[in-house]
Each structure stands twice: as C-alpha cells, then as structure tokens.
Amino acid sequence: MPKQSPVPDALSKPFWDACNEGRLIMQTCGICNRMQFPPEAACSQCKSKDHLMWREVSGRGKIYGYAVMHDCRIRVLQADQPFNLAIVELDEDPGIKMYSHLPGTPVDEVPVGASVRVEFEATPASGQKVYEWRVVK
Ligand SMILES: [Zn+2]
C-alpha cells in the first residue's frame, strides 16, 4: 500500500539514508551498548550525547501483536482500509518496537509470534524508501 514520505531531519537522516540503501540501522549508545528507536539527541538511559553511533542490524524480528485499522485520517492509506497494523520487535533487541502493515498478510490474519524480515518500499511523494516487514514463510 502507498505510504507517507517521512521528512528526514538531522537526527533521523542517517536512518533514512540507510533505508534508501536497503539497510536497517539502529542508533546505539556506546556506553550502555543499548539501542533506541526512533533516534534521539541523547541516550535515553545514560543521557550521553557523545557516544551515540549507528549499528546495522539483521532486519529480522517477530510479531509482538497487532490491531486492524478500520478508519484513519491519513488520506493515502484510506483506500486500503481496513489494514493490519502490527508491532514488530527486533531480534537483536525486543525492546525496539516498529510498526508494520505486513504486506502479503491478509487483514486480521496476523500470525502473532511469527518471524518477519525487513524490506524497503519507495514512497510515492518523494521516493524516500521506508521500512516494512513481511512474514517469513
Ligand atoms: Zn547510554
């Protein structure tokens, strides 16, 4: 389904640039060895601003849970209503949660706990690629 184009800012630009290259990266604190998403100006645990780095992750995760969206205000998504809105947790750190529409999975037939793999999809407005997740068969 077509999606909104994110507008990268200074903080999120490395993340979105990596998406355009087909890579998933996570902001990681070098002191706590801990990942956070979305990116922030400082580590949310130790508050350090000087030890944040980007780390590439495997792009594998599991479905934590889901809902079905029947009506939302985002016009570009309305043609595909109702649609899945799943929460995916990263294999490297289940504390990292990302949303997905689970392309290829029929609405309301989401296999909670199943393995998923990241993929990248170009958005119509700007061509910026965004992450999406697909159930691994
Ligand atoms: Zn930290």
Q: Break the chain into its structural domains and give their ranges.
A: 13-135
CA pair distance 17, 23, nearest whole angstrom? 9
CA pair distance 85, 31, nearest whole angstrom? 34
Measured in Å, how far apart are the chain's first and last C-alpha atoms?
20
Q: What is the pTM of this model?
A: 0.93
State which H helix or E strand residue 63 sits in: strand 60-69
What tens digit of pLDDT does each residue of 20-75 get?
999 999 999 999 999 999 999 999 999 999 999 999 999 999 999 999 999 999 88
Displacement of CA 103 from its chain's centroid (Å): 13
| Residue 34 alpha carbon to ligand 1 centre in Å | 7
| Residue 121 alpha carbon to ligand 1 centre in Å | 31
How deeply is 95 buried, as exposed, middle or buried, from its count of CB atoms within 10 A (0-12, 13-18, 19+)? exposed
| Residue 57 alpha carbon to ligand 1 centre in Å | 18
